[in-house]
Amino acid sequence: MGLPRFLRKNSSSKQDPLFQLVKNIIAFSPVDLSLYKCVFTHTSMEKTDEDGQKINYERLEFLGDAVLNTIVAAHLFKSLPLNNEGSLTLMRSKIVRRDFLNMVGEQLGLIDHLSSNVPTKNYSQHVHGNLFEALVGAVYIDLGFERCSSFVFDKMIYPFVNLEKLEYMVLSYKSLLVDWFQKKRIKYAFDVELDDGAEQTNYYKATLLIDGKATAKARAKNKKRAMEKVAKRAYFKFQNNIKSIHDKH
């Protein structure tokens, strides 16, 4: 069963082009097309309904994020009966990470149907994933948890999620290294400073120091990426010494 009926409106029209568009994407006939109009409306349109409520995908994105986490968590709970809470949480993070959701949203071509008053180049870098989450939220309200779950499995989990490969995926080399350093009581420090080079865009230079000596260096356009990049380079120097790495990551 879906949400209580008072949360939905019986506004489906098979003659509306949006009806067939949504049906082609989710493989179910939508009931309340107003939900999907929100999914495909950018905030720049500044639309509101007769009650003054904003018409865009942001609120549905919020809901879809929570629903998606629940669907993925239930899938992992059933599929990985020997994994503990920490391992399941990490696996969920690997599936619902932003770049992965962006890929799913892009594969579905959701942005092609987005109404907006701004150029595509000015969209958020996560717009594809945001639209996918909004669509998940809309399907949940419109058709209920079971059909929403089927949609997520058919469009995301079955085609793109390989749990065996995800077990060995590293989300953050920096976190992995720091954890190992702390267990081994190794003194380390990440030194990051602005690198004013010849480029028009400023870069940050990161250096990983172990016992005060530079072990690896890297450059990137922001501090976080610079630290992650230098950690990845350092990781490959220590990988043969890092034990039980895949049990934790």
Q: Where are the alpha helices (DSSP H) in the chain?
A: 17-26, 33-39, 58-79, 85-95, 98-107, 127-143, 145-152, 158-160, 163-167, 173-184, 223-238, 245-248
pTM: 0.77
Query: Could you tell me if 146 and 182 lie in one domain?
Result: no
> Is the domain of 163 the same as that of 239?
no
| pLDDT digits 0-9 by tens, 7-33 | 555 556 788 999 999 999 999 999 999
Q: Where residue 175 falls among pLDDT bands split at 50, 70, 90?
A: confident
What 8-state DSSP symbol labels residue 41?
A: B
Residue-range definition of the domain harbouring residue 205: 173-248
- For 51-85, the pLDDT digits (tens) are 889 999 999 999 999 999 999 999 999 999 999 99
- Three-state secondary-structure class, residue 209: strand
Contact at 8 Å (CB) between 190 and 181? no
The verdict on whether 164 is a catalytic residue reads no
Q: Which residue has the tokens 């390989």?
A: 162
Length of the chain: 249
The CATH number linked to 124 is: 1.10.1520.10
Kindly name the residue from 16, 65, 193, 247 that is annotated as catalytic.
Answer: 65
Beta strands in 18-149 (DSSP E): 47-48, 54-55
The single residue of 32, 61, 133, 142 carrying the catalytic annotation is 133
What pLDDT, in 10s, does the model give residues 206-226?
A: 999 999 999 999 999 889 999
The total number of structural domains in the chain stands at 2
Task: Indicate if 61 belongs to the active site.
Answer: no
Same domain, yes or no, for 129 and 16? yes
What is the domain-level CATH number for residue 180?
3.30.160.20
pLDDT tens, residue by residue, 88-100: 998 999 999 999 9
User: At which of 148, 167, 186 does a domain end?
Assistant: 167
